[in-house]
Chain A
């Protein structure tokens, strides 16, 4: 019978409050709230991390609808105005039949919104972004806010291969595309850094194709250390999806993805990475309208 049911009257309520106050006093005295930490106590140990959350709430309704509104109303128009991104190879992300990993170079905080801007509406609505757990989720409020805007989830950079694989593969298997920056962190000088093998490992373990992407110009828009973006032209080039070959190791596949991203940075078109015209033409074939009986 709860205290507020009224059966036992106000006396019971007073007793309940008294109990809480008593407990609080006990804790205050026990842990020295109003005096310094006793010297006799041993040094404070490392904080036991909270069990990792994959922020499932951010991928459920009504948060998805809210994010759709935020992205359409704020994020994408802002990206368009600031960077006027020129996108090459949209055909490869227009009609994705299965989840993919978008692997892009990383030189700026603007990269994520540029990638989302380059995707088709359908692909964007089914895309999660791997955000460094030790950077974005150090402060829970910031982490949750970024998740609301960009659909991020905490990606452990320190927890070893298995930790990365668990959360990511669960998302890929449930039909989400994954944006991953294989360099691990933003480039200090705008140049592409060495790729970490996580992307190859993830692709190999889950059998997911990787779509190489290269973003040019984002470093000038918002380099490392800069708080606010500056307007500047950006080009996003998307390559055709790459799948790990049979008996290809994670490191070899990562090296291949890295090579593709570096090739996309080159000036002329890269038919072997971006696809020949016939492949692209076929990828752009309009969907047949579905007639209802």
Chain B
């Protein structure tokens, strides 16, 4: 039985706590009385993944068995999530590979000749062939790449169709091949409650026109938080779009969940609570700390990005989207939920080296904001751990460092847009459309491996709720100029940051440290 998550109060004997610090780690001593929120230990994975997948496809929820839906002469499309999930990338075999191999086996048995596999990457960057091979496995890659296994292109007018408008006026678009298929099988991996469900199809296979309906400041400010779908305007919008898609094309959803075993044994100390660290973990911490303190950024990046997570499958459900997603969310919450009593004046979070949008690339300052204020801050249900007007302290080196191939539009966003304003609403009104329609960014998104021109805006909007909620935001260890450009305060040490926070929240504030990753979802009462 895996240990549930815990909230520990810091006393004299509490060891220093690990803070993620980009491509590095730090040990920090928290003030007495501060709370540390730890995620639950990894759940026991399913022993026979292939058998569980077969069972799920054979007895789907509120749908017919997949086998009975496949027939000779039909048009079948398999869509799957891109490399933004899971994080870090999963050690082979990826669960999506196992699921897709089973589906393709069934299709071969039924004699389905017309089959396509599409990476549903929405406005994310195109993956390299090796990255796709890692997700789908050698067998599928060798059989289908590149003519039947390819990536969604949200800017190809020939490859996308307009489906219609929802009752709320949200436009819906879909990949043409999916729209014209007799059956779409969507293979998803849900790591956090934000993923999966109707959002898979309505963002993964959509164009900018469809995605901007919910990826906007108003919707994201109305999502409290988007890690809890019932309270998320983003998800309500996706559901409306998804229902329209389901009326157009028959979709069979397969959703998988994994435990939170996010680090390989070499980085066990990142996975464990500090009180569980063995002598070996302490030695590994020291070695990692020395390496990351002295090694050049490129060496550190290679070291960190080479890590593959030994995730274990904890659930696989197939069938009708709503029934499937309900089960999926239950599985995810079982793994990541932690009960936290009440809010605090100060919340500290270490921002790790990796987020969904910088796989095999450095985390640029805009993505640091997206990760820290967007994702990590929003890992809550009911209400944020930070009280309204409290101080959020993040640790990250926050260097002026961009990947010119993956993030060209981010460079212009940082240099041009943030130099003008950091207010999400103003940015949206003034700049978004120009970037989204920029022919050069469009070309790079379509032909290179670049994120869409509108993507840095979404990364920024993701943080809008935290920016509005927090009274002050301090980045510890960041480059002063960069942090100021982002509109935040900069501190050299955590002690300095606490000192600065006192000006906003008064003397002797209550402090909570969210010890992530592995991911946790604070269930705040």
Write out the residue numbers on chain B whose beta carbons fall within 8 Å of the beta carbon of A277.
108, 113, 115, 143-144, 148
Interface string of A256-293 (1 = CB under 8 A from B): 00000000000011000000111011101110000000
A183 within 8 A of B: no
Chain B residue nearest in CB terms to A87: B142
Q: Check A111 for interface membership: any CB of B closer than 8 A.
A: no
* Contact between chains at A278 and B139 (CB < 8 Å): no
- A residues within 8 A CB of B104? 281
From A90, A278, A282, contact of B142 by CB (8 A):
A90
Considering the chains assembled together, what is the distance between the CA atoms of A211 and B139 in angstroms? Answer: 21
Distance in Å: Cβ of B102 to nearest Cβ of chain A:
12
Q: Is B276 an interface residue (CB 8 A)?
A: no
Q: Which residues of A contact B108 (CB under 8 A)?
A: 277-278, 281-282
Q: Is B111 an interface residue (CB 8 A)?
A: yes
B247 at the binding interface (Cβ < 8 Å): no
Chain B residues lying within 8 Å of A90, measured Cβ to Cβ, are 142
CA distance in complex: A136, B369 (Å): 66
Q: Chain B's nearest CB lies how many Å from the CB of A287?
A: 12
Q: How many residues of B contact A (CB 8 A)?
A: 13
Within the complex, what minimum Cβ distance (angstroms) separates B132 from chain A?
Answer: 15
User: Please, how many angstroms separate the alpha-carbon atoms of A282 and B142 in the complex?
Assistant: 12
For residue B111, which residues in chain A have a CB less than 8 angstroms away from its CB?
278
The main secondary structure of chain B at its interface with chain A is helix
Which A residues from 34 to 93 make CB contacts under 8 A with B?
90-91
Residues on the A chain within 8 Å of B143, using CB: 91, 277, 280-281, 284
Decide if B158 is an interface residue (CB 8 Å cutoff): no
How far is the CB of A227 from the nearest CB of chain B, in Å? 34
Q: Chain A nearest CB: distance from B325 CB in Å?
A: 30
Nearest residue (CB) in B for A276 is B113
In this complex, the member of B105, B139, B142 whose beta carbon has the largest number of chain A beta carbons within 10 angstroms is B142
Decide if A284 touches B139 in the complex (CB within 8 Å): yes
Query: Does the CB pair B142–A268 fall under 8 Å?
Result: no
Chain A 96-145 residues near chain B, CB threshold 8 A: none
**B113–A284 touching, CB < 8 Å:** no
B188 to chain A, nearest CB (A): 23
The answer to whether A280 and B142 touch (CB under 8 A), given A268-B147, A269-B147, is yes
A15-43 at interface with B (beta carbon < 8 Å): none
Interface readout for B79-109 with A: 1 if CB under 8 Å, 0 if not? 0000000000000000000000000110010
CA distance A268 to B147 in the complex (A): 8
Q: How far is the CA of A269 from the CA of B142 in the complex (A)?
A: 13
**For B105, what are the chain A residues with a Cβ–Cβ distance below 8 Å?**
281
Q: Assess whether B115 is in contact with A284, with CB atoms less than 8 Å apart.
A: no
A286-B144 contact given A278-B108, A281-B108, CB 8 Å threshold? no
Residue of A nearest to B147 (CB): A269
- Using a CB–CB distance below 8 Å, which chain B residues touch chain A? 104-105, 108, 111, 113, 115, 138-139, 142-144, 147-148
11 A-B interface contacts by CB (under 8 A): A91-B143, A268-B147, A269-B147, A276-B113, A277-B144, A277-B148, A280-B142, A280-B143, A281-B105, A284-B139, A286-B139
- Chain A interface (Cβ < 8 Å from any Cβ of B): 90-91, 268-269, 276-278, 280-282, 284-286
A-B pairs with the 6 shortest C-beta distances?
A278-B108, A284-B139, A280-B143, A281-B143, A281-B108, A269-B147
